[in-house]
């Protein structure tokens, strides 16, 4: 479960970087969904994500 969530979070982080680094303006977001943008910009880096607690004791 945590692995899949982390893969999805990786994709969101990459997308966030692309959007910010391309300096898109608001006109380019007209057709974008608010919920999707909110999810993308809320993406966390790997170091800031929740960790599977079992992995801390070597069983995850």
The predicted pLDDT at position 25 comes to 62
In a domain, 56, yes or no: no
In a domain, 35, yes or no: yes
Please, what is the Cα angle at 44 between 1 and 17, to 5 degrees? 120
The predicted pLDDT at position 43 comes to 85
More confident residue, 1 or 42: 42
Record the pTM. 0.48
The domain tally of the chain equals 1
In a domain, 26, yes or no: yes
In a domain, 54, yes or no: no
In a domain, 57, yes or no: no
CB 16, CB 43: distance < 8 Å: yes
* pLDDT, tens digit, 9 for 90 and up, residues 19-56: 788 776 656 755 666 677 778 778 888 889 888 888 88
Domain that holds residue 19: 2-46
The predicted pLDDT at position 31 comes to 67
More confident residue, 26 or 9: 9
In a domain, 40, yes or no: yes
């Amino acid at each position: 479960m945590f692995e899949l969530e982390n893969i999805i979070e990786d994709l969101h982080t990459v997308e966030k970087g692309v959007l910010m680094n391309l300096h898109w303006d608001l006109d380019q977001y007209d057709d974008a969904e608010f919920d999707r943008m909110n999810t993308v910009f809320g993406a966390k880096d790997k170091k800031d994500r929740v960790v599977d607690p079992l992995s801390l004791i070597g069983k995850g």
